[in-house]
Amino acid sequence: GAGVSQSPSNKVTEKGKDVELRCDPISGHTALYWYRQSLGQGLEFLIYFQGNSAPDKSGLPSDRFSAERTGGSVSTLTIQRTQQEDSAVYLCASSLLRGNSPLHFGNGTRLTVT
Amino acid sequence: DAKTTQPNSMESNEEEPVHLPCNHSTISGTDYIHWYRQLPSQGPEYVIHGLTSNVNNRMASLAIAEDRKSSTLILHRATLRDAAVYYCILRTESGSARQLTFGSGTQLTVLP
């Protein structure tokens, strides 16, 4: 079946430009996570959507980062006025809202800010 | 948030068993133990999870200490394709753990 889909797979942008990263979760999954992974590092939590509840934005590194999830499905992560330190792989994961439910990850969007 | 600690790296010979440890001394009674692995240039993939009892699936086995403060992922016969970063995380029963903290994981190298 279809897994988590992220687009684009690669994005190169100039410093100062805005970018939008998209995540299509598995149908029916109410929980959606965004993570960031810099080269050779672990996963850094960014934001978490849980059903219709207010999202947990505690991991967003600055107010240049925002995310939304429309209709409980597709999510978009927006980075405004990109900086070189924003370069990383951005990963999206979805799951059912149960502790014994696995997270399903997409293959990520590799963002390079020049 | 309950945290996990893992060795930074481990090595194994091909076709030998591998035991990957994880400490989670602050685990709560409702936390599930999940393991994921990340191959190069891919997103993490689910391996196995458990609550109290040992678990087996086609990919691996999970051994959970009686006090649940540690667990071990067991790959029965390592192959070159098992070379990856392995992450141990805790997930609450409700699934609403805000920050599923992955840490740096264990880089497994499989030697031919």
DSSP labels for chain B?
----B--SEEEEETTS-EEEEEE-TT--TTEEEEEEEE-TTS--EEEEEESSS-EE-SS-EEEE-TTSSEEEEEESS--GGG-EEEEEEEEETTS--S-----S-EEEEEE-
Distance from CA of B72 to the nearest CA of A (A): 18
How much is the average pLDDT of B57-83?
96
* Rounded Cα gap, residues B17 and A5, in angstroms: 34
Cβ proximity of A56 and A67 under 8 Å: no
Classified as helix, coil or strand, A71 is: helix
Lowest mean per-residue pLDDT among A20-24, A69-73, A89-93, B108-112: A69-73
Distance from CA of B87 to the nearest CA of A (A): 9
**Per-residue b/e over A15-42, b at no fewer than 16 CB within 10 Å?**
eeeebebebbbbeebbbbbbbbbeeeee
Residue B98: the pLDDT is 54
Chain segment B80-108, per-residue pLDDT in tens: 999 999 999 988 766 555 557 787 899 99
- Answer yes or no: do A97 and B49 touch at CB < 8 A: no
A4 CB neighbours in chain B (<8 A) are 43
